[in-house]
Amino acid sequence: MPLYRRKWNCESCGKPVYWDSERKTLSCSCTVETGVSFVNPEAFEAVPKYARHVTEKLQLSLDSFAFICPKCGSYVISDKSKNENPQLHVSFIKYPREDDRLQARLAVSGSFHVEQLNYNVKPAEDWKEKAWLIISEQQLVELLKFLDWRNPSYIHAWL
């Protein structure tokens, strides 16, 4: 799907403007024009054809994030109480060539430390759970709002 983003945002809403040359649409968050047969190509730049990362992202402070290495049994943790500043980064990736597949992307950053678990009752490779993300109720509300705001009927909502 040949898709292009205008080099400057919409004057009305301030959001990016997209030209879909296959569907002949020009769209932003406030309007969609159909039947547009020509735009100035110098004013637009191509958008990636495969994985399109959504520009809007959410960043939340976590209480903690931890995972266990099943092979070595190490417990890797980033903990707010130890000033390691664990952050959750939430965004979307759109794959237009794969039946418009959409994925939510959750990434964690911050400082981490490693602990050896001396209270293992069974080997780490036998544990059902391997990672834990601890988030406060307030930030869970923010996360749910972020995941709920998109309107899939507009192409610009996923770019």
Distance (Å, rounded) from C-alpha 145 to C-alpha 36?
A: 34
Q: Of 110, 50, 52, whose CA–CA distance to 78 is shortest?
A: 110
Tokens representing residue 44 in the block: 């637009």
Distance CA 23, CA 25 (A): 6
Domain that holds residue 119: 53-158
**In sequence order, what are the beta bridge partners of 4?**
19, 46
The pLDDT score that the predictor gives to residue 122 is 77
Residues 98 and 64 in one domain: yes
Tell whether 82 and 133 lie within a shared domain: yes
pLDDT computed for residue 108 by the predictor:
94
Same domain, 98 and 59: yes
CA atoms of 5 and 26, how far apart (whole Å): 10
Residue 98, both tokens: 């794969």
What pLDDT score was predicted for residue 120? 65
Provide the pLDDT for residue 55: 65
Long-range residue pairs from 36-40, CB within 8 A, at least 24 positions apart, any chain = 39/4
Structure tokens at 144: 């749910």
Q: Are residues 140 and 63 in the same domain?
A: yes
How far apart are alpha carbons 27 and 31 in whole angstroms? Answer: 6
Write the Ramachandran bin of 110: left for phi over 0, alpha for psi from -120 to 50, otherwise beta: left
State whether 63 and 36 are in the same domain: no
Helix (H), strand (E) at residue 136: none
Tens place of pLDDT for every residue, the chain, 159 residues?
477 888 888 888 888 888 888 778 888 878 888 778 778 888 888 876 656 666 678 899 999 999 988 777 788 999 999 999 999 998 887 765 555 667 778 899 999 999 877 776 777 778 888 899 999 999 988 888 887 766 554 545 555
